[in-house]
Every structure is written in structure tokens, then in C-alpha cells.
């Protein structure tokens, strides 16, 4: 009997080893995956990175238990395109989603990380912000923000799912977390490993704090201004001079809370008025102008932005607590990142889109107990094209077609591999609401070269001596060899990724117009 039992065990082992990734028989070693994606979260608002304007204790829990990536970037710093890259492991030109404003709806039937995991036996869900206009594909469960053209509102958003549209009541970060925990309670009983994409709207414009933060709101304490808040951009490139993103000229009353969103209910409105009315009356009485007005608007902007991050961080803590209490942490890979960084007053700006460090650099934190050492960090250059390959590698699933990115697990293992690469960046959305010119570029360990091809302008930055992208060295004597080398590397990386020489044509109607018409028709 013992020999028969041994033979049976050997046969089972052979069968398990020979299972294809798409088999429904999943080994216990495959990790659960929780991918947390926020929106427009600047590095300077994540305390795990130091020199932060705010404490984010729950996001920091992921860094404390895993690895912090100090040089993580996105390849196109705008919401939808970055999310498409996260799903596909491909740059925008290869996944077909270039722009929020005029791309066609995302093609979810192409190869994506969730679809591959689903085929391999994972139960999958996405809850929260989607912002790709098509219905999600490759998910057993999806509930995505629907109103405001899938941007959603902070208070009382609506969610779209296969069941239809749900008009929810509450604060968006709380609602997304409630729905995520509810799904996790079901998923853990399925016997399958799971993927949860837990996607926050926060802290996207117009950065509205949640009820708890409104109750403790402090309108008096001042936040330190960035050195370049009042920077004169006249000596910079045409693109920077003409961009429509200054706090002075383009920040609305709604952005700085001089007016209130119309979709708040009576109870929420009372909290809102109690938080901001006194400061609003003082501002209107002061009649500020010029630099003084910019400084006041900056304080309102940065404090409400940071308070909204605190609202999200508290909800991330709730989700992490659930994972601990449900005994799911031991075999769950957790990722925290954002779709792009954000200008927090640098250059006098808000928003993103640029290849600048504050815009294209993102927080990236990964924990996986027993596989990634706790409290570590890496300076390896990584990008959002790498997220899908990393998750698939952890799950033991191979892509069916090549991806642009690579798995980051060799970089953070017990014996980190050598890591030498350049990163490619390409922003397409012009015409666009903020007037940022189209540009592409290459980033190495020390230098970054960007080409604004519509304006035929170049920028070269030394990221050791000038970490804030303030001094354009292009054309400066002494940098000829560095510039020539970077131009060669830029051309090589465009060839490597198969970037077309011509950009896609902008449709005459633009995405927002056709989506507005579709929305109006739904209201009839």
C-alpha cells in the first residue's frame, strides 16, 4: 500500500508540474493580488518617501512590509493612457489608448494582465475608477465609477456594473472600499486565488476631503511653498510659456473651495460650509491680488489636496486591516501606485502631463511576505509597463504575446540582478484642455532629454544637479556629447518599442464631444 501511495503521489506531482498556466487547477503557492491605484498622487504626498508634506501611515504600511521603488515612472502622464498601460504592459502607441480626450474607447479584448490571470484560474475584480470608457473585460466582477464621464464625483458618485447604474450616497473612497471588502469576503471563499484592482479617484482634481477631514479642517496653518511657486516662465520653452495650468490663471473657484459642488446632500453641505465659510469670507474681504492671491490659492489647493489624500489613506488602512483579520496577508502580493504624479505648485502649476519629475515619477510600493524583504528600497529605473509582467511573473502566468515591460521581481529578490535600462516617455494629448505640447523623450540614470516635436524644441536636464527640472541644458557648451548620446538612445528606444513616426490623427469630433452627446441621450 505504501508503494502504491508513493506512486500516486508521484503521478500527481508530474501532472501538477505539467499543468499549463491556463489550467483551472491552481497551486496554493499562487499569490492573491491586490493592486491599489490612486489618481494624481504626487511623491511629495507620500510619507514613505520622506520630505513629505503629509503623513500617510497606511500607505506606508506597504512600504514597511516590502520594497519602495525610488525611481518609478509612467510613460504617458495622464489618467486613461496610464491605466491602459497598467493593464497591458504596453506603451500607448501599442495598446491604442493615447489620450483621455480623443482616443477611441479602450479595447479590452486585447491581451491584458487581468484576462490572462482569469484564464489561469484567478477570480478577478475591478472596483472604483476605470476611465477607459468601454466596459471592463477579463473580470468576474466589476463596479466602476460612471458619472462625470467616468471621472466620478467625490460625494455621491454613480457606479456602472453589468447590473446597470447605481446612484450611491457617500464619499467615494469609503464607497470603493466598502464594495472592495464586500467582494473580498466572497472571493476568499471561492477556493481560487484572486486579483482585486482597487482603484481610487483620489486625489484627482478637485481634491475634495472626506467627512472626517472636513470635521478636523484647519484653514489657518500654512504649508511651505515650493521654491518655484512664483517662477517666471518667460525664458523657458514655448510649450511651458503657453501651457494652461497656472494656479494664478486657471484654478477655479471650485478648485479652491470658494464654491461648492452641487451634488452634495443637505448633511454633506453643512459639513462643507462649516469647513470653508469662515475662510471664504475672510478671502473675499481681503481683496488679494497678484502674488498674494496666488499664495492664498496655493494654500487652499495644497491643504485640500493633502486632506483628500488623508481620506484615501484612511480607507486603504481599512482594506489592509481586513486582509490581516481575514488571514490573507501571508500569501497576498500588494501593490500601491498611482496613474501619474502631480504638480503641487512647482512652476506655479497644478496638473500633470509633462515628462518632468513631479509629473511622470510615481510612488510604487510592493509587499509580498516571504518573497520581498521588508523595509527595503531600490533605485532601479522602472516604469508602469512593468506592472503587468511583474504580477504575471508572481502568479506563474506567461503572456501570450510580448509586453514592453519586464518583471520587477528579479530586482527585489534576495540576490538583485543588475539593472541597466533607459525609459521612454510620450505625451500625445494636444489639442488638449491644458495646452501641453506633444513630446517624447528618454530618461537615463542621470540625464533626461525631451523633444517637443510640434514646436521643434528640446530640453535636457541633469537629474543629479537639478532634480526639479529647472535648468534646460540643451545647447549649453560642454553638453554636446551627452546630447548626441541621448539622441541616439532616444532613437534606439523608439525603434525598440516600434513607435510609429506619425502620431494617430485626432478625430474631428474629439472624444469629449461625442461622449457628451452620448450622455445627453442617456438623460432623455
Q: What is the pLDDT of residues 81-139, one digit of tens each?
A: 999 999 999 999 999 999 998 888 999 999 999 999 999 999 999 999 999 999 999 99
Question: For residue 82, what is its C-alpha cell?
Answer: 496610464
Q: Which pLDDT score, from 0 to 100, does residue 508 have?
A: 59
Per DSSP bridges, beta strands 158-161 and 164-167 are antiparallel
For residue 512, how many other CB atoms are within 10 A of its CB?
A: 13
Q: Which pLDDT score, from 0 to 100, does residue 24 have?
A: 28
What does the domain layout of the chain look like in residue ranges?
26-210+299-523, 214-227+234-298
Buried b (16+ CB within 10 A) or exposed e, 96-118: bbbbbbbbeebebebbbbbbbbb
CB 56 within 8 A of CB 48: yes
Superfamily for 26-210+299-523? Alkaline Phosphatase, subunit A (3.40.720.10)
3-state SS string for 143-187: EEECCCCCCCCCECCEEEECCEEEECCCEHHHHHHHHHHHHHHHH
CB 409 within 8 A of CB 390: yes
Could you state, in chain order, the average pLDDT of each consecutive group of 10 residues for the chain (524 residues)? 36 32 45 98 97 96 98 98 98 96 92 98 98 97 94 97 97 98 96 97 98 94 96 97 97 96 95 97 97 98 98 98 96 98 98 98 97 95 98 98 97 76 96 94 98 98 96 98 98 98 80 62 58
Nearest alpha-carbon partner for 65 in 281, 310, 320: 320
Q: Where are the alpha helices (DSSP H) in 188-259?
A: 211-215, 238-242, 247-250
CB 160 within 8 A of CB 144: yes
List phi, psi (to 5°) of 33: -135, 125
Question: For residue 473, what is its C-alpha cell?
Answer: 541644458
CA angle 41, 254, 436 (to 5 degrees): 55
Q: Which pLDDT score, from 0 to 100, does residue 211 have?
A: 97
Q: What SS3 state is found at 365? A: strand
Residue 52: exposure state from Cβ atoms within 10 A (0-12, 13-18, ≥19): middle
Gap between the Cα atoms of 229 and 290, Å rounded: 13
User: Whole-angstrom distance between the N-terminal and C-terminal Cα of the chain?
Assistant: 74
**Spatial CB neighbours of 372, under 8 Å, sequence gap ≥ 6:** 66, 67, 366, 412, 413
Q: Which pLDDT score, from 0 to 100, does residue 29 have?
A: 79
Q: Which pLDDT score, from 0 to 100, does residue 3 have?
A: 41
List phi, psi (to 5°) of 158: -110, 150
3-state SS string for 17-33: HCCCCCCCCCCCCCCEE
Residue 215: exposure state from Cβ atoms within 10 A (0-12, 13-18, ≥19): exposed
> Which H/E stretch holds residue 291?
helix 290-325
Amino acid at each position: 500500500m505504501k508503494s502504491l501511495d508513493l506512486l500516486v503521489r508521484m503521478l500527481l506531482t508530474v501532472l501538477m508540474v505539467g499543468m499549463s498556466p491556463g489550467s483551472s487547477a491552481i497551486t496554493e503557492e499562487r499569490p492573491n493580488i491586490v493592486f491599489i491605484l490612486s489618481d494624481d498622487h504626487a511623491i511629495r504626498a507620500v510619507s514613505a518617501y520622506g520630505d513629505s508634506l503629509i503623513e500617510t501611515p497606511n500607505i506606508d504600511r506597504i512600504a514597511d512590509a516590502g520594497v519602495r521603488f525610488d525611481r518609478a515612472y509612467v510613460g504617458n502622464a495622464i489618467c486613461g493612457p496610464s491605466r491602459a498601460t497598467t493593464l497591458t504592459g504596453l506603451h500607448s502607441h501599442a495598446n491604442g489608448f493615447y489620450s483621455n480626450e480623443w482616443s477611441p474607447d479602450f479595447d479590452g479584448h486585447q491581451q491584458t494582465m487581468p484576462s490572462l490571470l482569469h484564464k489561469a484560474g484567478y477570480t478577478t475584480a475591478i472596483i472604483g475608477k476605470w476611465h477607459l470608457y468601454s466596459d471592463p473585460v477579463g473580470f468576474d466582477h466589476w463596479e466602476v465609477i460612471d458619472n462625470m464621464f467616468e471621472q466620478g464625483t467625490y460625494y455621491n458618485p454613480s457606479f456602472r456594473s453589468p447590473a446597470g447604474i447605481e446612484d450611491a450616497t457617500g464619499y467615494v473612497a469609503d464607497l470603493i472600499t466598502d464594495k472592495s471588502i464586500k467582494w473580498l469576503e466572497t472571493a476568499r471563499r471561492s477556493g481560487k486565488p484572486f486579483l482585486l484592482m482597487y482603484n481610487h479617484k483620489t486625489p484627482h482634481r478637485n481634491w475634495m476631503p472626506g467627512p472626517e477631514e472636513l470635521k478636523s479642517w484647519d484653514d489657518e496653518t500654512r504649508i511651505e511653498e515650493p521654491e518655484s511657486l512664483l517662477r517666471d516662465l518667460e525664458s523657458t520653452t514655448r510649450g511651458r510659456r503657453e501651457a494652461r495650468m497656472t494656479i494664478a490663471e486657471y484654478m477655479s473657484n471650485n478648485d479652491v473651495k470658494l464654491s461648492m459642488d452641487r451634488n452634495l446632500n443637505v448633511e454633506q453641505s453643512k459639513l462643507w460650509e462649516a469647513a470653508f465659510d469662515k475662510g471664504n469670507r475672510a478671502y473675499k474681504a481681503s481683496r488679494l491680488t497678484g502674488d498674494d492671491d496666488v499664495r492664498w490659492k496655493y494654500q487652499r489647493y495644497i491643504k485640500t489636496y493633502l486632506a483628500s489624500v488623508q481620506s484615501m489613506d484612511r480607507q486603504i488602512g481599512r482594506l489592509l486591516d481586513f486582509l490581516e483579520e481575514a488571514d490573507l496577508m501571508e500569501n497576498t502580493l500588494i501593490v500601491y501606485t498611482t496613474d501619474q504624479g502631480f504638480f503641487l505648485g512647482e512652476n506655479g502649476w497644478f496638473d500633470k502631463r509633462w515628462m518632468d519629475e513631479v509629473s511622470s515619477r510615481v510612488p510604487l510600493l510592493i509587499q509580498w511576505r516571504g518573497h520581498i524583504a521588508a523595509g527595503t528600497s531600490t533605485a532601479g529605473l522602472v516604469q508602469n509597463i512593468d506592472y503587468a509582467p511583474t504580477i504575471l511573473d508572481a502568479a506563474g502566468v506567461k503572456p501570450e504575446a510580448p509586453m514592453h515591460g519586464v518583471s520587477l521581481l528579479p530586482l527585489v529578490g534576495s540576490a538583485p540582478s543588475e539593472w541597466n535600462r533607459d525609459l521612454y516617455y510620450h505625451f500625445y494629448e494636444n489639442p488638449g484642455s491644458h495646452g501641453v505640447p506633444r513630446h517624447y523623450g528618454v530618461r537615463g540614470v542621470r540625464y533626461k532629454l525631451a523633444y517637443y516635436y510640434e514646436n521643434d524644441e528640446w530640453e535636457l536636464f541633469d537629474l543629479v544637479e537639478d532634480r526639479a527640472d529647472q535648468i534646460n541644458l540643451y545647447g549649453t557648451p560642454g553638453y554636446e556629447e551627452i546630447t548626441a548620446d541621448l539622441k541616439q538612445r532616444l532613437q534606439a528606444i523608439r525603434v525598440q518599442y516600434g513607435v510609429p513616426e506619425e502620431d494617430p490623427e485626432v478625430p474631428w469630433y474629439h472624444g469629449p464631444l461625442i461622449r457628451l452627446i452620448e450622455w445627453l441621450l442617456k438623460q432623455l
